[in-house]
Amino acid sequence: MQKRHIAAALVAAALTLTPALASDVAGLMKTQPVFSSATGKNMYDLERCMIEVDGPIMPHVYRQPDRAQRVLMVWDGGGGVGGVSAAVQIDGVENAKVTFWGREKVLRRIKPCLDLAYSK
């Protein structure tokens, strides 16, 4: 019986002491974008390519019903606990505009999807 109480106390302590981690996507998107450009590509082709890129972390894809011509893709910092490492907003179905915030490492991986000459 006493072992159960000790185990329950340890579990409660572990849950209480676990730090709260949040990914501040809105905070990242309020900063100056690293890259922004119109493309000649379709939004869905860009999205598909960015998901299929051989990266260690796949993006989370967000859509909102009232914004059918916009998609937001977010890469976390690793394992879901490292914050946001990058975000891409794609606007427009045809000739989509791509805006990128975050780590250059992610941009280098998705750059072939853009089919653009990238220069900072």
Every domain of the chain and the residues it spans: 23-114
- At residue 60, the pLDDT reads 92
- At residue 2, the pLDDT reads 67
Integer CA distances (angstroms), 115 to 7, 67, 68, 103, in order: 56, 25, 24, 19
- At residue 100, the pLDDT reads 96
The Cβ of residue 12 has, within 10 Å, a number of other Cβ atoms equal to: 10
CA 102/CA 45 separation, integer angstroms: 21
CATH class of 23-114: alpha beta
Note the pTM of the prediction, 2 decimals.
0.73
Cβ-proximal residues to 115 (8 Å cutoff; 6+ apart), any chain? 39, 40, 41
- At residue 27, the pLDDT reads 84
pLDDT per residue as tens digits for the range 99-115: 999 999 999 999 999 87
pLDDT tens across the length of the chain (120 residues): 666 555 555 455 444 443 444 467 888 889 999 999 999 999 999 999 999 987 778 899 999 999 999 999 999 876 555 578 899 999 999 999 999 999 999 999 999 998 754 444
Q: Where are the alpha helices (DSSP H) in the chain?
A: 2-17, 25-29, 43-52, 104-114
- At residue 55, the pLDDT reads 74
